[in-house]
Structure 1
Amino acid sequence: MHGERRTPRVLLTGWFSFPDGEATAGDVLALHRVEDVLRRSGLAYDVAWSPGFRPGALHLQDAPAERYGWLVFVCGPLHGPQIEALHRRYAHCVRIAVGTSVIDPAAPAVTGFHRVLARDAAGAEPSRDLAARAPALPDRPVVGVVLTHGQHEYGGARRHEAVAREVTAWLHGKDCARLELETRLDVHDWRLCATPAQLESLLDRVDVVVTDRLHGMVLALRAGTPALAVDPVVGGAKVTAQARACGWPALVPAERVGAAELERWWGWCLSSGRVAARRLRDEFASGAGEDGADRLAGALRPPGAG
């Protein structure tokens, strides 16, 4: 309306805004908390993102100073030349830092703000981090990923690298929490499990396991967790054989690995596959079926023994 006074627009920034900065989960949740407050207050705002993190979003270089009346810096420590540069570029804006850590109150990065609503600063009572009260988020499937790049004994039939590329590219596009796991045990490397019980505890807590390893599939099923298995050997090898032995249907051959096939079995694993995996877990635990150990005693009898 002609003559109506418009409320100045707010530019939300943080370490997630700088080209060489980083976006942490805590910083982004803190941003969500601030966005929620601004929306409920009816204040218009934009968010400046690092082009390395969100290439298609608004970046600082595309956020001219004259567009904004306020600049808000969200979360993280207040220090360094990048924040000082914000003060120079948006000199005409009212600049506020919120949910930040103040290490040196006299630093130009700190004194350049008109107001600092710190979460922690020397001599001041700390306040809760903004991420703690960010809006609730929906659950996402947790996926254990167990892949191998070895098994050179299969020679020309190996498709391990191609399978891993296809599977990881597909997983990268899924809205899920990915957890890289390794069946190899190690008593020296803290990043690896040292016992089967430790690995089984992890497999028990994920929603699905994506794997091209025989034991990735078997140990997932032993824990009652559905496994989306891919056989990385052309023509099928031990993964295919073991899926058949266990009666497990969620198997993708190397020749058919692709987004459509993976997506089909992903949906099954997160629905009917949950019941099927628990049924197999109970079957394993009951001792039903036969394996090589059942035949071992007979094989160890002396020749001619009855």
Structure 2
Amino acid sequence: MVGWFSFEDGEATAGDVLALRRVEGLVRDAALPCDVAWSPAFRPGDLSLETVRPERYDLLVFVCGPLHGPQITALHERFAHCRRLAVGVSVIDPASPAVRGFDEVIARDGPSLTPRPDLSADTRPPREPPPVVATVLTAGQREYAGKRRHEETVRRVTAWLGAHDCARLPLETRLDTRDWRLCATPEQLDALLVRADLVVTNRLHGLVLALRSGVPVIAVDPVAGGAKVSAQARALGWPAVVPAERLDGEALQHWWDWALGEGRARAAAHAAQPPPGALAQALARSLGPRLG
């Protein structure tokens, strides 16, 4: 089985992969053995169009996407001995070699065709989806000079997260009324944070705002020896803090397990009963005589 997810210069979309899974299920139901050719850019080391041996197969199934272009035409040449079937595809030009090379085309749409639901529409979301993990990371804060470990912490955290089964949601605490990609108000950021299952951050406000929203957080202090992130965690009584000097996969995994377990209730309790506003109280006392 092949698709646009098989070409090195193609791409694997969520819809393509779900369509492929639907076809794989039908193939299994028919008790037919099958292999999938993946782009080496997407799944290095798996079977690819470069490593596959066409003579081992008698059927080629192309799944999802538009039927056009030289990549698909080349498949017809390489798998000329095979019966070739396309399913769940868009037919743009029925007369093109990419389309005419197939023995059968089961299209989802095309000229003069009644549209049919995409193969991915016939799949169901998981009952227990992977957690949504919001990241609030910075490589800035030059004021810490030689104690900065920001780039290193970002690199290690993102590499570690990239190996986990989770939906990653990069967030930025910086507000901007001109850039549509950024939140313009704190409330817009709140709306994103409350939808996360976990926040991973090396920023003070990433820690504070996550707990304010009742979301557990893994805080990484990016300053050697500890600075405002660690100090704020102590002030809030939040234990899931990793110093830059001890940042590794084992430490992150420990707090991951804790945060998605016991940490959920701990964060919810924090949001339900926030700590006393010591700074605001101190300011009120300072302003008191003047206000009187």
For the residues of structure 2 that align with 1:213 and 1:93, how far apart are their CA atoms? 56
For the residues of structure 1 that align with 2:135 and 2:242, how far apart are their CA atoms? 15
Residue 80 of structure 2 is aligned to residue 80 of structure 1? no
- Corresponding residue for 1:188? 178
- Corresponding residue for 1:39? 28
CA deviations on 1:118-156 (whole Å, 9 max, x unpaired) are 000111111110111236534101100000111111111
Q: Give the conservation status (yes or no) of the 8 Å contact 1:226–1:269.
A: yes
Superposition deviation, residue 298 in structure 1? 2.1
Q: Give the conservation status (yes or no) of the 8 Å contact 1:72–1:96.
A: yes
For the residues of structure 1 that align with 2:43 and 2:151, how far apart are their CA atoms? 28
- Further displaced range: 290-299 or 42-51: 290-299
For the residues of structure 1 that align with 2:283 and 2:152, how far apart are their CA atoms? 38
For the residues of structure 1 that align with 2:125 and 2:155, how far apart are their CA atoms? 33
Letter in 1 for 2:95: A
Matches within 5 A, 1:1-306: 12-134=1-123, 136-137=125-126, 138-284=128-274, 288-301=275-288
For the residues of structure 2 that align with 1:154 and 1:55, how far apart are their CA atoms? 39
Count of residue pairs brought into register by the alignment: 291
For the residues of structure 1 that align with 2:278 and 2:284, how far apart are their CA atoms? 12
For normalisation by structure 2, the TM-score amounts to 0.97
For the residues of structure 2 that align with 1:205 and 1:136, how far apart are their CA atoms? 17
Partner of 1:72, secondary structure, is strand
CA deviations on 1:9-40 (whole Å, 9 max, x unpaired) are xxx00001111111111101100000000001
- The CA RMSD over aligned residues, in Å, is 1.4
Superposition deviation, residue 302 in structure 1? 5.1
Partner of 1:84, secondary structure, is helix
Letter in 1 for 2:212: R
Q: Give the conservation status (yes or no) of the 8 Å contact 1:230–1:252.
A: yes
Q: Give the conservation status (yes or no) of the 8 Å contact 1:209–1:228.
A: yes
For the residues of structure 2 that align with 1:118 and 1:237, how far apart are their CA atoms? 59
For the residues of structure 1 that align with 2:230 and 2:54, how far apart are their CA atoms? 60
CA deviations on 1:38-69 (whole Å, 9 max, x unpaired) are 00110111101111111111111222221111
Partner of 2:133, secondary structure, is strand
For the residues of structure 2 that align with 1:133 and 1:254, how far apart are their CA atoms? 46
Partner of 1:205, secondary structure, is coil
For the residues of structure 1 that align with 2:124 and 2:81, how far apart are their CA atoms? 32
Q: Considering only CA atoms, is the larger Rg found in Structure 1 or Structure 2? A: 1
For the residues of structure 2 that align with 1:127 and 1:236, how far apart are their CA atoms? 58
Partner of 2:273, secondary structure, is helix
For normalisation by structure 1, the TM-score amounts to 0.92
Letter in 1 for 2:178: H
Letter in 2 for 1:216: G
Structure 2 residue ranges without an equivalent (≥5): none
Superposition deviation, residue 167 in structure 1? 0.7
Q: Give the conservation status (yes or no) of the 8 Å contact 1:33–1:135.
A: no
Superposition deviation, residue 202 in structure 1? 0.5
